Structures are given as C-alpha cells and as structure tokens.
C-alpha cells in the first residue's frame, strides 16, 4: 500500500495505516493544509470559496465528504459538483469566482487509489512553490479552524455537466454543424467513471450515435483504467462489430483521450494531440504549439508544416501550461492524450479534444484510419534503469549530456538528445530510484535499439 506526497497533491491507496496510505486522517490533514493555504492567500476576504468534484471511484464519496467537511471546519464555503471530471472542476472555479478547487481523483490509477488534485483561483494546478508550502503546512499541522459562528457553507451544484458541454459547443473552432451532418457512429469506453456520463452527453448534443461500453459510473473499472493499447481490446472489437466510425476512450477523470480507428486499430495517444493541433493550426493559418519533452516529434512536424513554432516543456501539466503562456500557444498538451486548448481553459480536457477531433474528421471527410495514416509515423519505447540509493543520478545524466554535447541536447528536465531521425529522453523519477528512458524513432526496432544502447552506456558509468 502506498501514500505519495508531491507538489501536485497527495495520492495513495485506500485503507491501512496512517502516513503509509490514503486514510481518512491523511485526507483530512492534507485538506486542512490546502484550506489553510487558501485562507492565507485570501486573508483580506470575508468569504472564501472552494469548488470540489470527484470521479466515480468507490472511495470517492467518502474522501469527498472528508474534504468538504474539513474545508467547512476551516470556515471555507464549499460548492460540490458531485461526480464530475477534472476539466469540469477546472472551468467551474473561475465561473464560481472561487478561490480554489480540489478534484478527488487518482486519474488513471486502479480503483484502490484516490487522490486530491489542487487548483488555484484560475482553475489551474498549483505551481511547485505553492505545492511545497502546502506540504510544509501538512507536515507541521499548522492549522487554525473556525469557531462555531464562522463555519463554511455547503452547497451542491449539478448544473456543470451542461455548462461544460455548452462551453465546448460555443468554442469558435468546434464545427457543430459539420459534426451533425457527418452522422458519426461512435463507441465510448467510460471505464465506469464520470466519462461514461459526460462524453455520451456531449455526443448527444452533436447528434452523434453513441454505443456505450462501460459507461455506468459505479467505480468498478472493468480493465486497467490507463487508456493504453493493451487495455483496450474490448472497445477495439466492439468498434468493428458495430461498424462504428471510431472509438473514444477516456480515463476515470476525463483528462486523457485515446481514440480507436474504424478497423479497431489504435489511433495512438500521442496522435490525439497531433490531430487536434493539425485542425486548429489549419483553421488559424498557423500558430505555436507546446508539448512536453517526452511527447512525440510528430507535433513538431505538424506545427512546422503549418508555419508555426513548436516548443518543448519539462514533463508535467503545470510546466506545459507555463510554457504555453510564455509562447502564446494556440494549442498544446501532453502525448498521453491530454489536450490543452487555451480558448477554453488551461487544463487537459477530453471533451474539448473530442469536439475538435470530430470537427477535424467531419471537415476532412475521410476515415479515422486515413487521418492517422496522413501523419508522420513514429514509434516509442519506454524503459527504465533501477538504481541503488547511493548512485548520484544527476552525475549520470550530466555525463550523458557531456558525451553527446555535439548533438541537440535539452537539459530542462533530465537530458533529451535529439538526433536526426530519433531522440532519447532520460529523466530521474521523483518517487523511486530509477532513470526513466523514453525513445522515439521511425521504427519500433530502432526505438528499442536506441534505448538498449543508452542503457548499456549508462551501465558502464554506474
């Protein structure tokens, strides 16, 4: 069992001992730290408000109740969206003029996990310094609760399903009419979480025929909830059976989007962003894009095709958002199927991704597989080296950067080395003694061979 504290929040497995797992005591302690942080930031305000929402996992209601009541005890007003999505809570925070938000979700982790994801007043994830401050508050238990006459108020708001959908439909580049004319038939795998409510509801507004697979929001995930190829055989088969135009897969909190082509093949999580960016850049006549260092080179290729500038950020959504703002990016995200579209909000949003992708497909008037085949084809390999605690990981990475200094080397997050036809990204884990190794090349064999070559070279240093 596990409890992981980081600058982005706290996550862990339900049950077991405090400080080792995500127990009720740990949830209350961390919610207290976040609430205290929000109060300090807004010490001049009489009323402080926080929006909360959760995915459909089994422990969600319990954790949500603990968090909500802790915030009330601190004198903070709570608006509870109930079963919701990460992007829905993100857009609700500024609409509600709230001072922050908490999403109760462990994202793609299995059902025994849960987590608290923390937002600022813009509905965006906290930065590193803010996260560190909350961790210190939690460690020191430096909390001050409200007296009985100053407790917060609690309200529920179930209107944000429709508000979120309407916000998506109102986006200028979402071609509602074209999607309706296309008469798409789509299979949706909502992994029995909130995506099983939100994605079909969006498709209904677009007159898309929807075949639901695992769309009952009971938290009983029917397969590993991370939307990777090896977990998605059921939807691949059903897309073919139903003669559907494509399949749509989301993770439990609906911030990652994977697609299945009409022949049952994976469109590829990396290519979700590529396709959406291709559409947006085409409509705008160009523009800048951002993804993280571990994402596919295909986005860079597509951006350059449209005359735009591509920039890579450090890994992590908050880092992508910072770089997007710096470079006035029109669309960005992560290669795990996370679409960030600033015209909507600065957060990964599968509803936005679905609407942009269907707009693209409807206007191109080609099949999903044909669209995928139109993009540069790259293959990835993901590996790791386990290290003993005494090894200086930074020294190993510095050695690799020095050895390949004549290549295109980026050291903002580990070491990324760009060769002409392939790249490798080496970065240390924040939670375990390993070096993660990501490679991409024009064939799977080349990607695997590049990874093996660098593993052997690093072993010589260790």
Q: Are strands 113-119 and 209-213 parallel, antiparallel or unpaired?
A: unpaired
What pLDDT, on the 0 to 100 scale, is given for residue 79? 98
6-20 confidence digits (pLDDT tens): 777 889 999 999 989
Confidence of residue 1 (pLDDT cuts 50, 70, 90): low
Spatial contact of 417 and 407, defined as CB atoms under 8 Å apart: yes
High-pLDDT (> 70) share of the chain, %: 99
Confidence of residue 393 (pLDDT cuts 50, 70, 90): confident
Buried (b) or exposed (e) across 399-431, using 16+ Cβ within 10 A? bbbeebeeeeebeebbbbbbeeebbbbbbbeee
Residues 6+ away with beta carbon under 8 Å from 339: 257, 272, 273, 276, 331, 333, 348, 349, 350, 352, 353, 356
Q: Starting from the edge strand earliest in sequence, which strands make up the sheet with 257-261, in order?
A: 209-213, 185-189, 246-250, 257-261
119-139 confidence digits (pLDDT tens): 999 999 999 899 999 999 999
Measure the CA–CA gap between 240 and 242, rounded to whole angstroms: 6
Measure the CA–CA gap between 45 and 97, rounded to whole angstroms: 13
Task: Reply yes or no on domain 164-373 having CATH 3.40.30.10.
Answer: no
| pLDDT at 88 exceeding the cut of 80 | yes
Spatial contact of 275 and 317, defined as CB atoms under 8 Å apart: no
Structure tokens at 446: 């080349």
18-52 confidence digits (pLDDT tens): 989 999 999 999 999 999 999 999 999 989 999 99
- Mean pLDDT, residues 241-253: 98
CB atoms within 10 A of CB 437: 21
What are the extents of the domains in the chain? Answer: 3-158, 164-373, 379-461
| pLDDT at 227 exceeding the cut of 90 | no
Range 3-158: architecture per CATH: 3-Layer(aba) Sandwich (3.40)
Q: Cα Rg for the chain, rounded, in angstroms?
A: 22
Q: Which has the higher per-residue pLDDT, 428 or 223?
A: 223
Confidence of residue 386 (pLDDT cuts 50, 70, 90): confident
Measure the CA–CA gap between 174 and 50, rounded to whole angstroms: 30
Closest residue by Cα to residue 274 from 298, 249, 247: 298
Confidence of residue 430 (pLDDT cuts 50, 70, 90): low
**What separation in angstroms does the CA of 424 have from each of 294, 399, 406, 408?**
8, 15, 15, 11
Confidence of residue 422 (pLDDT cuts 50, 70, 90): very high
What pLDDT, on the 0 to 100 scale, is given for residue 390? 77
Q: What is the pTM of this model?
A: 0.95
Which bin fits 368, alpha (ψ -120 to 50), beta or left (φ > 0)? alpha
* Catalytic annotation, residues: 107
The mean pLDDT of the chain is 95
Instruction: Compute φ and ψ for 123, nearest 5 degrees.
Output: 80, 25
Closest residue by Cα to residue 370 from 250, 245, 284: 245
Range 379-461: architecture per CATH: 2-Layer Sandwich (3.30)
What pLDDT, on the 0 to 100 scale, is given for residue 9? 80
| pLDDT at 344 exceeding the cut of 90 | yes
| pLDDT at 166 exceeding the cut of 90 | yes
Of the ranges 125-134, 147-156, 387-396, the best mean pLDDT one:
147-156
| pLDDT at 101 exceeding the cut of 90 | yes
What pLDDT, on the 0 to 100 scale, is given for residue 4? 82
| pLDDT at 402 exceeding the cut of 60 | yes
Instruction: Compute φ and ψ for 152, nearest 5 degrees.
Output: -75, 165
Spatial contact of 160 and 103, defined as CB atoms under 8 Å apart: no
The answer to whether 3-158 and 164-373 have equal CATH topology is yes
Confidence of residue 323 (pLDDT cuts 50, 70, 90): very high
Buried (b) or exposed (e) across 298-322, using 16+ Cβ within 10 A? bbbebbeebebebbbbbbbbbbbbb
What pLDDT, on the 0 to 100 scale, is given for residue 431? 60
């Amino acid at each position: 069992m596990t409890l992981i504290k980081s600058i982005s929040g706290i996550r862990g497995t339900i049950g077991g001992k405090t400080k080792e797992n995500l127990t009720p005591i740990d949830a209350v302690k961390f919610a207290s730290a976040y609430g205290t942080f929000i109060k300090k930031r807004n010490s001049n305000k009489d009323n402080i408000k926080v929006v909360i929402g959760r995915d459909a996992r089994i422990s969600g209601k319990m954790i949500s109740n603990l968090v909500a009541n802790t915030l009330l005890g601190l004198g903070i007003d709570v608006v509870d969206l109930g079963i919701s999505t990460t992007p829905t809570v993100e857009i609700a925070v500024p609409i509600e003029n709230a001072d922050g938000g908490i999403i109760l979700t462990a994202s793609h982790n299995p059902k025994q996990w849960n987590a608290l994801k923390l937002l600022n007043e813009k509905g965006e994830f906290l930065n590193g310094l803010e996260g560190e401050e909350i961790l210190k508050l939690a460690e020191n238990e430096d909390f001050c609760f409200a007296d009985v006459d100053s407790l917060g108020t609690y309200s529920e708001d179930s209107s944000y399903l429709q508000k979120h959908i309407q916000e998506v439909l109102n986006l200028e580049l979402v071609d509602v009419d074209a999607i309706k004319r296309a008469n798409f038939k789509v299979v949706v795998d909502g992994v029995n979480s909130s995506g099983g409510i939100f994605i079909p509801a969006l498709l209904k507004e677009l007159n898309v025929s929807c075949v639901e697979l695992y769309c009952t929001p009971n938290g009983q995930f029917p397969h590993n909830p991370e939307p990777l190829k090896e977990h998605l055989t059921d939807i691949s088969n059903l897309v073919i059976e139903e003669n559907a135009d494509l399949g749509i897969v989301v993770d439990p909190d609906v911030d990652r989007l994977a697609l299945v082509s009409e022949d049952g093949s994976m469109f590829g999580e990396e290519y979700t962003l590529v396709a959406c960016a291709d559409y947006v850049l085409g409509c705008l006549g160009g523009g800048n894009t951002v993804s993280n260092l571990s994402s596919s080179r295909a986005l860079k290729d597509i951006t350059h095709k449209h005359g735009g500038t591509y920039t890579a950020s450090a890994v992590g959504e908050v880092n992508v958002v910072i770089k997007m703002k710096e470079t006035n990016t029109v669309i960005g995200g992560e290669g795990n199927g996370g679409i960030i579209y600033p015209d909507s909000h600065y957060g990964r949003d599968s509803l936005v991704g679905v609407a942009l992708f269907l707009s693209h497909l409807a206007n191109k008037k080609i099949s999903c597989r044909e669209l995928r085949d139109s993009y540069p084809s790259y293959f990835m390999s993901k590996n790791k080296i386990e290290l003993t605690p005494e090894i200086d990981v930074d020294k190993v990475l510095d050695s690799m950067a020095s050895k390949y200094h004549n290549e295109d080397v980026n050291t903002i997050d580990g070491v990324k080395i760009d060769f002409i036809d392939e790249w490798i990204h080496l970065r240390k884990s924040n939670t375990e003694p390993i070096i993660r190794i990501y490679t991409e090349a024009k064939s799977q064999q080349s990607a695997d061979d590049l990874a093996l070559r660098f593993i052997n070279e690093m072993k010589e240093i260790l």
